[in-house]
Structure formats: structure tokens, C-alpha cells
């Protein structure tokens, strides 16, 4: 049966290849830092379940230390120039989009048809299907485009280097959520919320969850950091357990309420401040200001969607 261990092995091997390619990239000023970072991540994916909590914790601290001291850079991965790409785009046309579409198509079809097949871990059907889709798309692209050997990995390294340490930020925020849960942060916020929500008032509870998601996101600059806190504080104890709401709707739309907060905060620098700088705007907050009139009504709509659909 295929499940997460096989998927982690694929990802671990890929990170190991990124580490190896970084190491042999002699034009790369920070190749040791990159090799160590992707190598440690490879170790986590290949052997994390054998290492024990303390060693895994040390791996995390090392990853953070490498990122926090600026040891990561961008390598000189072999790629093609703009002209060659334009020529290739003209030659191949819209067919180029096809292998990219194989991935989501396989992920959706696999989710619908592989469940209960006995071939795949039922709890992880989507992720396993995604992995199959990636391998399928890679095979199609290799057979059709006939790139030089290692080209796919070099191009993958080019992209992962441009993402850099941010590649593990969502996973780290999920881990922070776990520590917050252990320390009872959600309960502390929940206690405050309980004082605010009038007893038995479902609309007030939903509204506080939605505005709380947006507000926390504005403060922390990231909906990923706000979600675990508001889930523990309001979504699970009040909306799901007490009022019997649908967890899928509350979770999915709650995150989107957080995204409305992302649109309204300079703390989300990569989305709101970086483009203002890139576009040479005099007001650094011009993008945030342009987004508020979309974000606020959309936040109300999201709260409405949770209120109307999760309790029916």
C-alpha cells in the first residue's frame, strides 16, 4: 500500500539531489549553506521517523540557524535564456501547458477513484495521487522535450533556491501551532473570546471567528500563523463541538477570512510592500490601501458563507 512514507522518500531523495547539485556548483558563493540546508531537510524526510523527537528538534534548530544567519543563497543552476525560451514557446505552443495540467488532473482523478482501492492509504489519497501526477508529468515532459540529463533537477534547484528558507515556513508555522496548542494559547484566546461571545449566539461566534482570523493575520502578517490559534480558540470548541458546525467549511472558509486580513496589512511584506517597491510607488502602503475595499466586503461574505452553510 502506498502512503506517506513512500511520498516522503521521493521528497527526501529530491532534497538530497538539490543538496548534491548545490555542493558541486563551484560558482555558488554560499553552496555549503544551501547544501547543508537541503541536506538536513533530506535527512528529515528520509529518516525523520527513526530519529526521535530530540534529534528532529536539533535538525529544526540547525535549519533555522542556517536561515537566520543568512547562509542561504541562489545557485548558478544551468538553464536557458529568454530568447531560447521564447523560441521554444513559439515552437511548442499551448501544448506546453499540458504536462502542467497532468498534475492537478491526476490529483483530482486519483482522489475520486483510488479511495477504497486498497492500493493507497485511504487517509492520504490526495497527496499520493499528487505524487503520482508529478511523476507522470515528469515522464511526459522527459519523453516529449528530451531535455539534457539532470536538467529537471537543475531547474528544480533554480526554483527551490528562489523560494529559499521560505520553503519550510508553512511547516514551521504548523509546528509553532503545535507548541501553541501544548502551551494552551488557543485556550487563553478562547477564554477571552468566551467573555465576548453572548451565550448561545451563533452569529456572534462565527463573526468573532472571521474577524479574529483577519485580525490575527493582520498582526502576524500570515494567515498560516493565525489559523492554529483561532482554530483552538473558537473553531473547534465553539463552532464545531458546541454548535455542531461542518469542520470542512469552517476550516476552508476560515482560512480565506484570514487571507482577507493578509490583503489589509503591511506585515505581509512580500505581497503588499515588495510590489509597491517593484512598481516604484511613492506610497509604500498604496497596495494595501487599494486592497481594503475588496478585502472588507469579502470578509463579510466569508463570514456569511460559514454562518449559512456550516450549520445546515
302, 260 contact by CB (below 8 A): yes
Among 16, 62, 176, 204, binds other proteins (CB under 8 A): 176
Least separation in angstroms between CB 142 and other proteins: 8
Q: Which of 1, 29, 68, 119 binds other proteins (CB under 8 A)?
A: 68
Which 70-109 positions form the footprint of other proteins (CB under 8 A)? 70, 79-80, 82, 85-90, 92-94, 96-97, 99-101, 103-104, 107-108
Judged by CB under 8 A, which of 43, 180, 190, 234 binds other proteins? 180
Q: Which residues, numbered 35-54, are part of the site for other proteins (CB under 8 A)?
A: 41, 44-45, 48-49, 51-54
In Å, how far are 5, 97, 100, 144, 190 from 130, measured between CA atoms? 14, 17, 12, 21, 36
Binds other proteins (CB under 8 A): choice among 20, 194, 290, 311: 290
The reply to whether 291 sits near other proteins by the rule CB under 8 A is: yes
Q: Give the up-direction half-sphere exposure of residue 113: CA atoms within 13 A in the CB hemisphere.
A: 6
Q: Does 14 bind other proteins (CB under 8 A)?
A: yes
d(CA 228, CA 206): 16
CA triple 281-286-287, angle to 5 deg = 105
Give dist(CA 158, CA 121) in Å, integer.
Answer: 32
Q: Is residue 202 a contact point for other proteins (CB under 8 A)?
A: no
How far is the C-alpha of 207 from the C-alpha of 126, rounded, in Å?
31
- Which of 32, 184, 201, 203 is the binder for other proteins (CB under 8 A)? 184
Task: Write the binding mask 241 to 280 for other proteins: x where contact by CB under 8 A, - elsewhere.
Answer: ------xxx-xxxxxx--x--xx---x-x-xx-xxx-xx-
CA 206 to chain centre: 25
Q: Does 239 bind other proteins (CB under 8 A)?
A: no
Of 11 and 23, which has the nearer Cβ to other proteins?
11
Which residue's CB is nearer to other proteins, number 82 or number 118?
Answer: 82
**Could you say which of 21, 40, 168, 238 contacts other proteins (CB under 8 A)?**
168
18 contact partners, CB below 8 Å, separation of at least 6: 34, 38, 42, 153, 156, 157, 160
- CB-based burial of residue 107 (10 Å sphere; 0-12 exposed, 13-18 middle, 19+ buried)? buried
Amino acid at each position: 500500500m502506498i502512503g506517506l512514507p513512500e511520498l516522503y522518500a521521493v521528497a527526501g531523495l529530491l532534497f538530497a539531489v538539490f543538496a548534491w547539485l548545490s555542493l558541486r556548483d563551484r560558482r555558488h558563493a554560499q553552496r555549503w549553506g544551501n547544501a547543508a540546508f537541503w541536506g538536513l531537510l533530506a535527512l528529515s524526510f528520509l529518516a525523520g521517523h527513526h530519529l526521535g523527537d530530540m534529534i528532529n528538534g536539533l535538525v529544526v534548530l540547525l535549519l533555522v540557524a542556517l536561515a537566520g544567519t543568512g547562509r542561504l543563497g541562489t545557485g548558478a543552476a544551468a538553464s536557458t535564456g529568454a530568447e531560447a525560451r521564447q523560441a521554444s514557446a513559439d515552437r511548442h505552443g499551448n501544448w506546453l501547458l499540458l504536462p502542467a495540467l497532468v498534475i492537478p488532473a491526476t490529483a483530482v482523478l486519483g482522489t475520486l477513484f483510488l479511495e477504497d482501492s486498497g492500493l493507497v492509504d485511504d487517509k492520504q489519497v490526495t497527496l499520493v495521487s499528487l505524487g503520482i501526477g508529478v511523476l507522470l508529468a515528469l515522464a511526459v515532459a522527459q519523453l516529449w522535450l528530451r531535455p539534457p540529463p539532470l536538467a529537471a533537477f537543475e531547474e528544480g534547484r533554480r526554483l527551490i533556491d528562489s523560494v529559499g528558507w521560505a520553503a519550510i515556513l508553512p511547516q514551521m508555522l504548523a509546528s509553532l501551532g503545535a507548541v501553541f496548542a501544548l502551551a494552551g494559547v488557543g485556550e487563553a484566546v478562547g477564554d477571552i473570546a468566551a467573555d465576548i461571545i453572548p451565550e448561545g449566539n451563533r452569529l456572534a461566534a462565527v463573526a468573532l471567528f472571521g474577524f479574529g482570523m483577519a485580525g490575527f493575520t493582520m498582526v502576524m502578517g500570515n494567515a498560516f500563523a493565525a489559523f492554529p490559534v483561532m482554530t483552538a480558540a473558537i473553531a473547534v470548541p465553539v463552532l464545531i463541538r458546541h454548535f455542531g458546525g461542518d469542520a470542512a467549511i469552517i476550516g476552508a472558509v476560515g482560512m480565506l477570512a484570514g487571507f482577507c486580513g493578509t490583503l489589509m496589512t503591511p506585515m505581509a511584506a512580500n505581497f503588499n510592500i515588495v510590489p509597491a517597491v517593484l512598481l516604484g510607488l511613492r506610497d509604500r502602503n498604496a497596495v494595501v490601501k487599494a486592497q481594503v475595499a475588496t478585502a472588507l466586503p469579502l470578509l463579510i461574505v466569508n463570514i456569511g458563507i460559514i454562518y449559512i452553510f456550516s450549520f445546515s
